[in-house]
Structure 1
């Protein structure tokens, strides 16, 4: 919906959402936005104009940044799907820094023009809090993935290190954070330059609230959770589509690599063949990454679509093979389904390591993966009851977490009294 649409008649104010221009962040953000609209907020997503295509909620407005001379989104997305390696990581961080810089340059004027009275900033996009500080607006932080809270006992969320609350673990974590800081220098330079230009201190005011999709039981133990940070449960809309399982005695296994990595045909073929080897049938969602011919060529008689009603499918599955994307992981856990995790990048290794720690998953490297290795891990999580029991334990926490409604109520209460 465009910014000149009719706003809610019982307005709390105009909330501007600043997040990453990715479906994995914008989809849960829109569900949260819907719950905020129900509480009287007018909500606008602010980003590069090409991100408009991700906005599907009929009551969520979109306000684009001024059009640049060249497309901004497609080159950025291209850096996220390049093969893993140091060159890819460097390009991705530089592209992220450029996107943050553009938001810092252009978004403040957009927020002033639309009359924003508060900001909801995704934790992965540091431009949001800084823009709120420049405009002296109250702001909340939405944590769509793993909590980005630095703590001595907890490794950086982008690393698949296990939890160690001892001197060795803390030394290792310090090294991990030091390397992370070094790699993220392009982003840090952008932020520091803008703080100087705007006369802001590095500390600044804190968000009114930080609220996460992540259930506390999934995260590593923490000693120093800051005031105003709250764990929660997934922000999901109720699906209108159902999944009619085929008349087939074979157990079903949901297989997904998310929306960015869905073109990895060879990895999907390994999944489908591994499922067939253990007597299961793969249900593959590739997010539009495969052609019709590539779909037809997958082994093992899988069920294949670009998109499935994911929650409905998972309720009928015996296991899931996932890349560790946070939304898919939460959906599988909400259904009490054990997981074989194949983390590719971003915070996926950290998510997979947490799944292993709670006993809900096996983790394998997608770069050194054979059909036999994957089939053995899949058989293990399907047969051993402890994996499903661990997933169901988190499912119970998710069921009582309140989802987007509880998150929206907490955000509304916090922004109503920002002091």
Structure 2
């Protein structure tokens, strides 16, 4: 069998699809190892073999300044996160490749060190596009910004003695964990849509007996938005408490909310709850959007930052939900949006269309078949 090294940033949403891919690879008899900043990579993967590459504390989401928007957010992402992360991960990624001897390196689209080391060592590498942010090349209409990003990549390549193309797109394979039905066609020729890949989540207690049979509306802003989300969560709680024909469930990681007429939880088994929901109100995180649409559940999306705005636009374009302004939406706005996605059949129909596209794409199984096809080229007779 073959060896696959998965190189990731310390970000839950970026690790999640590769956990499912790793499980499928292992089930087929392949050897899998991970590489990323510690201790987060071990905590997020639960893997036995993790090669450390940098200090996760230096790249924790919580260190990002709140309120960044537009070019300021993009500038911070590249200058203060992606490029420093690549530099910090290079020694560990180099050591991981030398010790593990992978046949293929799978590098998350934000873990450039994987692409740099694989290219330098002559090993085929695959891009893991956990979100559709870069697939449509959104900066094509902004040539000066695109040139600035190219310059930052030039600096990375020069510092580490690597000659290659765009570090965000492997010349061998780009695994996109979405579908064209949601994300639209990808102009990059190497993209292969495999749909969401989901591994079993850690168990979480949940009072299933408290569900009373009314349509369930879940409100969640993910794991990294507790501070930014206080106002929106409170407005959502008020909106659902004032809607007696639905049952509201608001996930409040900080445990600060109080309210009658709704359920509150600090943590939930999200995929299981989503399957019982009639609608989901969220921030547009890729995992939450895909879990909801995979269950055919329409969405109300209030994006906060980064790729969430793009995902919200995709949901609206697909007819699978509505969009709200995160920083302006009040309880009446949220209540009205929830009522619309529950009462107008077109939203459920749009979500059902995306659900069908996800099922047809193949998920982790399709991803592994694509990866395995690279191995004979990389290592004839491997196994």
User: Which TM-score applies when normalising by structure 1?
Assistant: 0.80
How far apart, CA to CA, are the structure 2 residues paired with 1:368 and 1:247?
A: 30
Cα distance change of structure 1 residues 79 and 217 upon mapping to structure 2, 3 Å threshold:
same
Q: 1:276 aligns with which of 220, 241, 248?
A: 241
Cα shift at 1:147 = 5.7
Q: Residue deviations 1:166-216, cap 9 Å, x none?
A: xxxxxxx513x543553x47843542433xx52524479954222221022
Name the structure 2 match of 1:342.
Answer: 302
Cα shift at 1:290 = 0.4
Name the structure 2 match of 1:30.
Answer: 19
Aligned residue pair count? 372
Contact 1:79 1:91 in 2 (8 A): no
How far apart, CA to CA, are the structure 2 residues paired with 1:409 and 1:398?
A: 16
Contact 2:220 2:251 in 1 (8 A): yes
Cα shift at 1:418 = 4.2
How far apart, CA to CA, are the structure 2 residues paired with 1:314 and 1:75?
A: 30
1:258 to 2:242 alignment? no
How far apart, CA to CA, are the structure 2 residues paired with 1:300 and 1:333?
A: 29
* Greater Cα offset, 274-283 or 325-334: 274-283
Name the structure 2 match of 1:132.
Answer: 118
Cα distance change of structure 1 residues 362 and 180 upon mapping to structure 2, 3 Å threshold:
farther
How far apart, CA to CA, are the structure 2 residues paired with 1:257 and 1:229?
A: 29
Cα shift at 1:322 = 0.8
Contact 2:321 2:347 in 1 (8 A): yes
How far apart, CA to CA, are the structure 2 residues paired with 1:12 and 1:386?
A: 46
1:417 aligned counterpart, secondary structure: helix
Gaps of 5+ in 2: none
How far apart, CA to CA, are the structure 2 residues paired with 1:379 and 1:24?
A: 29
How far apart, CA to CA, are the structure 2 residues paired with 1:19 and 1:193?
A: 22
Cα shift at 1:338 = 0.7
Cα distance change of structure 1 residues 95 and 233 upon mapping to structure 2, 3 Å threshold:
same
How far apart, CA to CA, are the structure 1 residues paired with 2:210 and 2:19?
A: 32
Contact 2:53 2:90 in 1 (8 A): no
- Residues 22-101 of structure 1 mapped to structure 2, 5 A cutoff: 22-58=11-47, 60-65=48-53, 72-74=56-58, 76-80=60-64, 82-85=66-69, 90-96=75-81, 97-101=83-87
Q: 1:381 aligns with which of 336, 341, 347?
A: 341
Q: 1:324 aligns with which of 284, 293, 299?
A: 284
Cα distance change of structure 1 residues 87 and 123 upon mapping to structure 2, 3 Å threshold:
closer
Cα distance change of structure 1 residues 81 and 268 upon mapping to structure 2, 3 Å threshold:
farther
1:393 to 2:353 alignment? yes
RMSD between aligned alpha carbons? Answer: 2.7
Cα shift at 1:281 = 2.5
Cα distance change of structure 1 residues 284 and 53 upon mapping to structure 2, 3 Å threshold:
farther
Contact 1:81 1:261 in 2 (8 A): no
How far apart, CA to CA, are the structure 1 residues paired with 2:235 and 2:94?
A: 47
Cα distance change of structure 1 residues 221 and 403 upon mapping to structure 2, 3 Å threshold:
closer
Gaps of 5+ in 1: 1-10, 157-172
How far apart, CA to CA, are the structure 2 residues paired with 1:347 and 1:363?
A: 14
1:354 aligned counterpart, secondary structure: helix
Cα shift at 1:20 = 1.9
Name the structure 2 match of 1:230.
Answer: 192
How far apart, CA to CA, are the structure 1 residues paired with 2:58 and 2:26?
A: 30
Cα distance change of structure 1 residues 323 and 274 upon mapping to structure 2, 3 Å threshold:
same
Q: 1:406 aligns with which of 363, 366, 370?
A: 366
Q: Residue deviations 1:213-257, cap 9 Å, x none?
A: 1022001245x440x421122111256779735352432111111
Cα shift at 1:340 = 0.5
Name the structure 2 match of 1:122.
Answer: 108
Cα distance change of structure 1 residues 199 and 40 upon mapping to structure 2, 3 Å threshold:
same
Name the structure 2 match of 1:166.
Answer: none
How far apart, CA to CA, are the structure 2 residues paired with 1:143 and 1:75?
A: 19
Q: Residue deviations 1:117-158, cap 9 Å, x none?
A: 32001123222222110111111222211162355xxx45xx
Cα distance change of structure 1 residues 202 and 398 upon mapping to structure 2, 3 Å threshold:
closer
User: Which TM-score applies when normalising by structure 2?
Assistant: 0.87
